[in-house]
């Protein structure tokens, strides 16, 4: 079996995948990433319970990530609009970084990998935005799919 790009048609044009023939099933995806801080900045933020002048850095990033999951189809042109049934976004401070995990669940004809990855990405960007006044030496790193279930192929990193 030869793998092919699913969003390119025979003529090489961008094309949204037709999922009308697929069965509806419960699908989940978990993505992760991290925002890495210089040690002094992380310690300052930790000593302030990650509260900045703009409010709670962690809670704001969680809300931004949840909103992003729900907007994925408007951000990524060939994604299907999905009726998401659950979003769980967690942010944990550890080792000079904020670790982000986003789990998305739906009962649809296509998966939610892009939604989970988008949630992590926007949460990370929100953290950067809220902390950039302290330092621009903040890195967003390791955004990746950890797991997906449902559909034709499951994946577990």
Tens digits of per-residue pLDDT, 53-103?
A: 778 999 999 999 999 999 999 999 989 999 999 999 999 999 999 999 999
**Catalytic residue status for 49:** no
- For residue 39, the cross-strand partners are none
Q: CA-to-CA distance for 151 and 157, rounded, in angstroms?
A: 17
pLDDT band at 13 (very low <50, low <70, confident <90, very high): confident
Q: What's the pTM?
A: 0.91
Question: Maximum Cα–Cα distance for the chain, whole Å?
Answer: 57
Question: At residue 153, what are phi and psi to the nearest 5 degrees?
Answer: -130, 130
> Which distant-in-sequence residues (6+ apart) come within 8 Å of 64 by Cβ?
122, 123, 125, 126
> Is the model's pLDDT at 18 over the cut of 90?
no
Q: CA-to-CA distance for 24 and 93, rounded, in angstroms?
A: 37
| Catalytic residue selected from 9, 95, 129, 137 | 129
> Is the model's pLDDT at 1 over the cut of 70?
no
């Amino acid at each position: 079996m030869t793998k092919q790009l699913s969003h390119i048609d025979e003529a090489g044009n961008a094309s949204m995948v037709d999922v009308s023939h697929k069965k509806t099933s419960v699908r989940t995806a978990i993505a992760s990433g991290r925002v890495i801080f210089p040690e002094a900045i992380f310690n300052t933020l930790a000593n302030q319970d990650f509260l900045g002048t703009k409010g709670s850095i962690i809670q704001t990033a969680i809300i931004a990530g949840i909103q992003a999951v729900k907007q994925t189809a408007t951000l990524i042109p060939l994604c299907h609009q999905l009726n998401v049934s659950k979003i769980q976004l967690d942010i944990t401070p550890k080792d000079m970084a904020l670790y982000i995990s986003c789990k998305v669940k739906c009962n649809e004809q296509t998966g939610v990998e892009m939604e989970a990855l988008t949630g992590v990405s926007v949460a990370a960007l929100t953290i950067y935005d809220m902390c950039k006044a302290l330092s621009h030496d903040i890195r967003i790193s390791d955004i990746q799919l950890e797991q997906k279930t449902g559909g034709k192929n499951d994946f577990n990193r």
